[in-house]
Amino acid sequence: MRIGFLQLRPRFGAVRENVRKAAAILGKVSDATIVLPELFNTGYLFRNEDELASLAETIPGGFTVSEMQKLAKRKRLNLIFGIAQKHRNTFYNSAVFVSSKGKVEVYQKVHLFDREKLFFTRGSSFKIVSAGDAKLGLLICFDWVFPEVSRALALGGAHILCHPSNLVLPYAQDAMKTRCIENRVFAITANRIGSEQRGAASLTFTGGSQIVNPMGEVLASASDRSESLRVIEIDIGDANNKNFTPNNHLFKDRVPSLYAALVRKRR
């Protein structure tokens, strides 16, 4: 299976420009599953809800998803990318999966980071989607902090964690190596680069997009400065082996009743 990431430097508010640039780069590949950054089409630092409302899109039907559907079908790509979703009068920080046949599925970010809480509504469930024989678990940026997310996706059968991101903290990439080891899955983290300063708020994004295997080894990565498209070949069967030693199985050795008892005791 061919998988990859596209690391970008979006220009805030320039939706059509950002989408068309991504599509032009992705047009160079085919027959692959590619992850793009969180909010890749709009940029990240919304100043207020009115600004978010002017840039958010419905799913499906909005410009971004429509353009990515055309690309996915033309180049036989499975695409996972982050956008601001408008649903009635509510806004979500969402990851969209578009299959090579144009099927659309959505995950709405559960763990909102910092100022995201001012504008976005938290999602209420996690999402696993199919890309051929592979199961893809969707998470977005700050979801990495909560190991329960990756574990739940792995227990649900995910072979690959697909992680659109706008990372600003310096240790998320290393943490994703641990998520792979403790769940024996692959992970694709697609981050962005550059800085945004909007009003009094400013952020610098760390780049460092990467693909990690179930042993925690980095198979492909990008710098913190350059836009980058990387595509590699993997064997998803490597994510089916949950044996840590000949006598230890990552999931069968779990004792959920004891974990739950500890939580009840603390309460």
Q: Catalytic amino acids?
A: 38, 109, 141
Q: How far apart are CA 166 and CA 47, in angstroms?
A: 17
CA distances from 149 to 81, 120, 256 (A): 18, 19, 15
Query: Pairing state of beta strands 160-164 and 186-190?
Result: parallel
Q: How far is CA 70 from CA 35, 122, 130, 165, 228, in A?
A: 16, 29, 19, 23, 22
Alpha helix (H) residue ranges in 30-103 = 49-55, 63-75
With 0-12 / 13-18 / 19 or more C-beta atoms within 10 angstroms meaning exposed / middle / buried, residue 7 is buried
Amino acid sitting at position 237: G
Distance of CA 107 to the CA centre of its chain: 10
Angle at 138 between CA 212 and CA 232, to 5 degrees: 35
